[in-house]
Amino acid sequence: MESAPTIPSRTATIRAWKESGGGIAAVLPIHYPRALLRAFGLLPVEVWGPPRVDPAPGAAHLQPYVCSIVGNALSFLLKDGLDVADVIVVPHACDSLQGLGSLLLDFVRPRQPVFPLYLPRGRRESDRQFLADECRALYGKLAAITGRAPSEEELLESIRREEEADGLLAELHHRRRALSLTDLAFYRLVRAREYLPAEEFSALARSVLDTPPADPRTGIPILLSGIVPEPMALLDAINEMGGTVVADDLACCGRRLYPPGVSGDPFRRMAERILDGPPDPTRGSPITERLQHLVRTARETGARGVVFYDVKFCEPELFDLPLLRRGLQEAGLPSVHVEVDLNDPLSGQTLTRIEAFLEMVAGQTEEARR
């Protein structure tokens, strides 16, 4: 069924960008203004770990209960993995990332400038103003190190380029069941948004969306929540076990389907886009809002259950989980929670739990049909 597109690798993309005279911004999860970095000629390349690195160098600086996204990022940096970057951006998504930002600023001190980005925990007018001011402050820091000063029109142009890419990203999510892609191929494609220039991602997305639709995917439909689907072999495993991911609420994917902004002020518009995105615990979204979002998404996509696939020691996820799972159960949506470390291979225990969950969901669906 698959006609997977050819996706440029992260390494090739970085090399090509640098050869064309651009710079690289290594960006930690989760929310940040891509358009602002691009307006300064910096390509944002996201650092979700990466998985499977030697965690020892980072472990010497961190408490043992810090998640492997942060631990691996620090280890990767200490092993010169971020050498290609010209700046490092650390959004304060959670206490662990905030701690990493402080470590980089005060103790480890990489050769690149480190820019923290504080994210408000609400959607009030004051939150919008605060985040717009954060973006404005980041503009000042980027101007100081690059010697550039993009005009308001250039900033808006950069925003429009990202809005177009995000519109196509949302369309891919919306039409995912009719695309001729396995779950693994789909997530390779949408996760290319983590490093491809927006215009390249848009061209890739268009080529996939223009492919004639396939027969809708079959399999036990589930919604995948959590942080990041690593190792990505998980996705093939879900398909092999008879499941199919019809929607997601992943921090790296579905929680970043940002709508277009409306303001004519570029900083305000960057803030609007982030704050008007789907609910996310790292932005302080109330649990009721998250619950409504998950239930609505499941109803719209036909998902019969929710797999929470979390990174170990992820506090923002763990705080919400008990009430979220109870609310889903009351709404007729069973769920399962598994935790992984980014350095571990896909374990038999994880697969067994997901397989048992899929069987249970299939059984419930069968019973409801009778």
**Per CB under 6 A, does 99 bind ligand SF4?**
no
Distance CA 70, CA 62 (A): 9
Instruction: Kindly tell me which of 163 and 310 has the beta carbon lying closer to ligand SF4.
Output: 310
Instruction: Kindly tell me which of 98 and 146 has the beta carbon lying closer to ligand SF4.
Output: 98
- Cβ atoms of 290 and 205 closer than 8 Å: no
Instruction: Kindly tell me which of 236 and 315 has the beta carbon lying closer to ligand SF4.
Output: 315
**Per CB under 6 A, does 29 bind ligand SF4?**
yes
Bridge-based pairing of strands 243-250 and 220-226 is parallel
**Per CB under 6 A, does 53 bind ligand SF4?**
no
Question: What residues between 212 and 251 interact with ligand SF4 by CB under 6 A?
Answer: 227
Mask 329-368, x = binds ligand SF4 (CB under 6 A)?
----------------------------------------
- Cβ atoms of 94 and 315 closer than 8 Å: yes
Quote the least distance from Cβ 250 to ligand SF4, whole Å: 11
**Per CB under 6 A, does 158 bind ligand SF4?**
no
Distance CA 128, CA 116 (A): 18
Instruction: Kindly tell me which of 163 and 230 has the beta carbon lying closer to ligand SF4.
Output: 230
**Per CB under 6 A, does 282 bind ligand SF4?**
yes
Quote the least distance from Cβ 73 to ligand SF4, whole Å: 8
**Per CB under 6 A, does 181 bind ligand SF4?**
no
- Options 124-132, 190-198, 289-297, 309-317: segment touching ligand SF4 (CB under 6 A): 309-317
Say whether 197 sits in a helix, a strand or coil. coil
Distance CA 190, CA 172 (A): 8
Quote the least distance from Cβ 94 to ligand SF4, whole Å: 3
Quote the least distance from Cβ 169 to ligand SF4, whole Å: 20
Distance CA 261, CA 275 (A): 10
**Per CB under 6 A, does 116 bind ligand SF4?**
no
The H-assigned helical ranges of the chain are 10-19, 34-39, 56-59, 68-78, 95-103, 125-146, 152-174, 183-191, 198-209, 233-240, 266-275, 287-301, 315-330, 348-369
Say whether 196 sits in a helix, a strand or coil. coil
Say whether 237 sits in a helix, a strand or coil. helix
Scan for tokens 């929670």, then name that residue: 337
Tokens of 216: 């809708």
Among 311, 328, 333, 336, binds ligand SF4 (CB under 6 A): 311
- Options 5-13, 91-99, 192-200, 289-297: segment touching ligand SF4 (CB under 6 A): 91-99
Say whether 305 sits in a helix, a strand or coil. strand
Quote the least distance from Cβ 338 to ligand SF4, whole Å: 14
Instruction: Kindly tell me which of 161 and 255 has the beta carbon lying closer to ligand SF4.
Output: 255
Distance CA 31, CA 33 (A): 7
Q: What secondary structure letter does DSSP report for 52?
A: S
Give the footprint of ligand SF4 on this chain (CB under 6 A). 29, 67, 69-70, 93-94, 96-97, 227, 282, 311, 314-317
